[in-house]
Amino acid sequence: MTGSDSMRVHRLRSADARALRQLLAVFAAAFEDEATYRDAQPSAAYLTRLLAGDCFIAFVAEDAGRVVGGLTAYVLQKPEQERSEVYLYDLAVDFSAPASGYRHGSYRGAPSSR
């Protein structure tokens, strides 16, 4: 089985706090920001509540059970109409995985000034 045959992408749920921690490690490496993503991580109970809620979305890509990338996003309810918008915040891929053929890639969202 090649690396690409074992790739799986899925949304994290409340039982996936461990995978979210692995995604944070990918973010730390991609953004070169250990302090933000690894040094003061919240408790497993906090991550479980975050993943169980309606306002936070996380997807991970796993290759042979190893988190090699993912994204986080936030759902914001809008006041001007009865609707919500999803804002992509962090996205990173660990391209050092053997099947990828690339070295790195990342996107870090930032608040816009309007």
Over residues 3-48, the pLDDT tens digits come to: 456 889 999 999 999 999 999 999 999 999 999 999 999 999 999 9
Q: In what order do the strands lie in the sheet with 56-63?
A: 7-11, 56-63, 66-77, 84-93, 105-108
Give the confidence band of 95 by pLDDT, cuts at 50, 70, 90. confident
Instruction: Give which of 68, 51, 52, 48 is closest to 60, Cα–Cα.
Output: 68
Query: Which domains are delineated in the chain?
Result: 3-108 (3.40.630.30)
Residue 83 region, left (φ>0) first, then alpha (ψ -120 to 50), else beta?
Answer: beta
Does pTM top 0.85 for this prediction? no
Count of alpha carbons within 13 Å of 30, Cβ hemisphere only? 24
